């Protein structure tokens, strides 16, 4: 690590508690972001705000060549806060999460993501908003939302683009998790390695560090032209579907409440 970026309280005496570690690496050319609330690393309102603030603050730095997002502990993320999905909170939760996804999609530099352990729900949605994913072979990636009677809005937009329509529909409907090896076969991740952080750093050192930062930014714009517009347009439609139709059903609320209460859901199919 080099050049750690700390947040301090008003007195300037000691760091504030934050769910995200932020620092600059590789002589300032690589922004490091690390989810830091193990073991779950939940993508709740506080984590989403911290990620969005870090991207907002640093992505305009013309000397940056890439971002590396990873996590403290054995798991990338268990997903979003289920409590924040309940009526009364879900509109704000989706608004902020989808704003983060849009910011990541529009990143002018590549976002590398290193995944180990569980990477589920909102955690996978955040990871899939990055560009280059590196996973441990025994990582567990999935969108379990349908088990709770809801669907994954951002993943419904991102997964078809990454793995194709048929594979995306399987993952979204079944709610099953897949290993890092299967994720590689589907094209969801770019590489599998026992140490995904080291693999991402090696990729950066070999393939990105020697490049011109200004030329790389233009290459990112060129490669992602059209893709970003498609996902963002669909995301707005799917967010409305989630809030106005899904959350007006009895079963969606029942599934979320059953999960929180640690009991089986009782579906009435309405």
Tens of pLDDT along the chain (270 residues) come to 454 554 433 344 334 579 999 999 999 999 999 999 999 999 999 999 999 999 999 999 999 999 999 999 999 999 999 999 998 889 999 999 999 999 999 999 999 999 999 999 999 999 999 999 999 999 999 999 999 999 999 999 999 999 999 999 999 999 999 999 999 999 999 999 999 999 999 999 999 999 999 999 999 999 999 999 999 999 999 999 999 999 999 999 999 999 999 999 999 999
> In terms of Cα–Cα distance, which of 44, 40, 47, 39 is closest to 19?
47
Say how many residues make up the chain.
270
Give the right CATH number for 20-261 from 3.30.110.70, 3.90.226.10, 2.60.40.1180, 3.40.190.10: 3.90.226.10
The pTM (predicted TM-score) of the whole model is 0.93
Distances in Å between the alpha carbon of 5 and those of 32, 57, 209, 233? 10, 11, 21, 34
Please report, for the chain, the start and end positions of each structural domain, with discontinuous segments joined by +.
20-261
Q: Which pLDDT value is given to residue 17?
A: 73
What is the number of other CB atoms lying within 10 angstroms of the CB of residue 44?
Answer: 21
Q: Which pLDDT value is given to residue 2?
A: 53
What is the number of other CB atoms lying within 10 angstroms of the CB of residue 39?
Answer: 14
CA 120 from chain centre, in angstroms, equals 9
């Amino acid at each position: 690590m080099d050049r750690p970026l700390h947040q301090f309280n008003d007195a300037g005496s000691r760091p504030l508690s934050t769910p995200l570690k932020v620092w600059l690496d590789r002589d300032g050319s690589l922004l490091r972001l690390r989810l830091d609330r193990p073991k779950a690393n939940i993508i709740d309102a506080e984590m989403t705000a911290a990620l969005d603030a870090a991207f907002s603050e640093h992505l305009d730095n013309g000397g940056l060549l890439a971002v590396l997002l990873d996590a403290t502990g054995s798991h990338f993320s268990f997903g979003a806060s289920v409590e924040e999905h309940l009526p009364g909170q879900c509109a704000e939760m989706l608004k902020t999460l989808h704003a983060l996804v849009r910011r990541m999609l529009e990143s002018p530099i590549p976002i590398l993501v290193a995944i180990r352990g569980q990477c589920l729900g909102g955690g996978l949605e955040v990871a899939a908003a990055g560009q280059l994913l590196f996973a441990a072979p025994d990582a567990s990636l999935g969108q379990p939302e349908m088990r709770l009677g809801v669907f994954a809005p951002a993943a419904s937009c991102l997964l078809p683009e990454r793995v194709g329509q048929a594979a995306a529909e399987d993952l979204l409907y079944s709610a099953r998790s897949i290993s890092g090896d299967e994720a590689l076969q589907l094209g969801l991740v770019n590489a599998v390695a026992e140490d995904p952080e080291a693999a991402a750093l090696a990729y950066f050192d070999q393939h990105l560090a020697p490049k011109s930062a200004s030329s790389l930014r233009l290459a990112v714009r060129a490669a992602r032209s059209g893709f970003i517009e498609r996902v963002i347009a669909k995301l707005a439609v799917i967010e409305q579907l989630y809030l106005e139709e899904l959350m007006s059903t009895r079963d969606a609320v029942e599934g979320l409440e059953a999960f929180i209460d640690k009991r089986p859901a009782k579906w009435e199919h309405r």
